[in-house]
Amino acid sequence: MSDFNDFNNPQVAALPRHLKQFIVDQHYDHYTPVDHAVWRYVMRQNYSYLKDVAYYPYIPGLQKAGLTIEKIPDLHDMNNALAKIGWGAVTVDGFIPPAAFMEYQAYRVLVIAADIRQLKHIEYTPAPDIIHESAGHAPIIADKDYHEYLSYFGSIGAKAMFSAQDFELYEAIRALSILKEMPDADPEEIKKADEVVAWHQDNMGEPSEMALLSRLHWWTVEYGLIGTLQEPKIYGAGLLSSIGESASCMMDDVKKLPYSIDAVNYSYDITKTQPQLFVTPTFQNLIDVLEQFADTMAFRRGGAYGLQKAIDSKNTCTAVYSSGLQVSGTFTEFKTDKEGEPTFIKTTGETALAVNNKQLKGHSKSYHKHGFSSPVGRLKGVNKPLEDVTARELQDMGITIGSNTFLTFENNITVEGKVKSTHIENNKLQLITFTDCTVKDNMGNILFDPSWGVYDMAVGEKITSVFCGAADKDAFLEIAYKSATGTHHPQYDTKTKELHQLYQQVRNRRHTGGDLGFLGNVWMMLQKFHHDDWLCALEILELLDHEDAEPALAAEIRRFLENKAANEPEYKKLITDGLYLIKHPVEERLVV
| pLDDT tens-digit map of 544-590 | 999 999 999 999 999 999 999 999 999 999 999 999 999 988 764 44
**8 Å CB contact between 38 and 71:** no
> How far, CA to CA in Å, does 469 sit from each of 107, 413, 483?
16, 29, 17
User: How far is it, in rounded angstroms, from Cα 175 to Cα 190?
Assistant: 9
Q: Which of 434, 450, 476 is the last residue of a domain?
A: 476
User: How far is it, in rounded angstroms, from Cα 432 to Cα 456?
Assistant: 6
User: How far is it, in rounded angstroms, from Cα 320 to Cα 302?
Assistant: 8
Predicted pLDDT at 213? 95
196, 158: one domain: yes
Predicted pLDDT at 268? 86
User: How far is it, in rounded angstroms, from Cα 545 to Cα 578?
Assistant: 13
User: How far is it, in rounded angstroms, from Cα 71 to Cα 67?
Assistant: 8
> Domain holding 205: CATH number?
1.10.800.10
Enclosing domain of residue 103 = 10-291
User: How far is it, in rounded angstroms, from Cα 519 to Cα 266?
Assistant: 52
Query: Which residues lie below 8 Å from residue 499, measured CB to CB, with a gap of 6+?
Result: 34, 529, 530, 533, 536
Residue 260 located in a structural domain? yes
Residue 157 located in a structural domain? yes
Rg, the chain, Cα only: 29
246, 302: one domain: no
User: How far is it, in rounded angstroms, from Cα 46 to Cα 38?
Assistant: 12
User: How far is it, in rounded angstroms, from Cα 379 to Cα 326?
Assistant: 20
361, 236: one domain: no
Q: Which of 245, 270, 291 is the last residue of a domain?
A: 291
Range list of β-strands (E), 356-398: 358-359, 371-375
- Phi, psi dihedrals of residue 426, rounded to the nearest 5°: 55, 40
Query: Which residues lie below 8 Å from residue 360, measured CB to CB, with a gap of 6+?
Result: 353, 354, 423, 431
pLDDT band at 478 (very low <50, low <70, confident <90, very high): low
Residue 4 located in a structural domain? no
User: How far is it, in rounded angstroms, from Cα 402 to Cα 430?
Assistant: 18
Query: Which residues lie below 8 Å from residue 248, measured CB to CB, with a gap of 6+?
Result: 254, 273
Predicted pLDDT at 340? 97
> How far, CA to CA in Å, does 545 sit from each of 359, 537, 558, 579?
66, 12, 10, 10
287, 302: one domain: no
Q: Which of 238, 258, 291 is the last residue of a domain?
A: 291
468, 546: one domain: no
Is residue 28 scored above 50 in pLDDT?
yes
29, 162: one domain: yes
456, 567: one domain: no
Residue 503 located in a structural domain? yes
pLDDT band at 407 (very low <50, low <70, confident <90, very high): very high
Say how many C-beta atoms besides its own lie within 10 A of residue 444's C-beta: 8
Residue 317 located in a structural domain? yes
**8 Å CB contact between 354 and 473:** no
192, 219: one domain: yes
Predicted pLDDT at 3? 61
How many helices (DSSP H) and strands (DSSP E) are in the chain? 23, 17
Categorise residue 556: left if φ over 0, alpha if ψ from -120 to 50, beta otherwise: alpha
**8 Å CB contact between 14 and 82:** no
216, 314: one domain: no
Residue 484 located in a structural domain? no
| pLDDT tens-digit map of 361-392 | 999 999 999 999 999 999 999 999 999 999 89
Q: Per-residue DSSP letters for 455-519?
A: EEEE--S-EEEEEES-SSHHHH-SS----S-PPP-----HHHHHHHHHHHHHHHHHHH----TTH
Q: Which amino acid type is present at position 561?
A: L
> How far, CA to CA in Å, does 59 sit from each of 116, 139, 232, 242?
21, 8, 19, 17
pLDDT band at 13 (very low <50, low <70, confident <90, very high): very high
Say how many C-beta atoms besides its own lie within 10 A of residue 568's C-beta: 13
**8 Å CB contact between 239 and 274:** no
Residue 513 located in a structural domain? yes
pLDDT band at 591 (very low <50, low <70, confident <90, very high): very low
Q: Per-residue DSSP letters for 78-147?
A: HHHHHGGGT-EEEEESS---HHHHHHHHHTTEEEEES----GGGSS--SS--HIIIIIIIGGGTTSHHHH
Predicted pLDDT at 485? 61
Is residue 315 scored above 60 in pLDDT?
yes
User: How far is it, in rounded angstroms, from Cα 410 to Cα 458?
Assistant: 15
Q: Kindly report the average pLDDT of the chain as a whole number.
A: 91
Closest CA to 391 of 381, 400, 404: 400
> How far, CA to CA in Å, does 177 sit from each of 82, 148, 371, 477?
28, 30, 38, 28
Q: How many domains does the chain have?
A: 3
466, 584: one domain: no
Predicted pLDDT at 62? 86
Closest CA to 375 of 401, 398, 348, 341: 341
35, 173: one domain: yes
Residue 117 located in a structural domain? yes
266, 415: one domain: no
State the number of CA atoms in the 13 A half-sphere of 483 facing the CB.
21
- pLDDT (mean) for 204-227: 92
| pLDDT tens-digit map of 511-536 | 998 888 899 999 999 999 999 999 99
3-state secondary structure of 4: coil
| pLDDT tens-digit map of 108-143 | 999 998 989 888 888 877 677 898 888 888 888 888
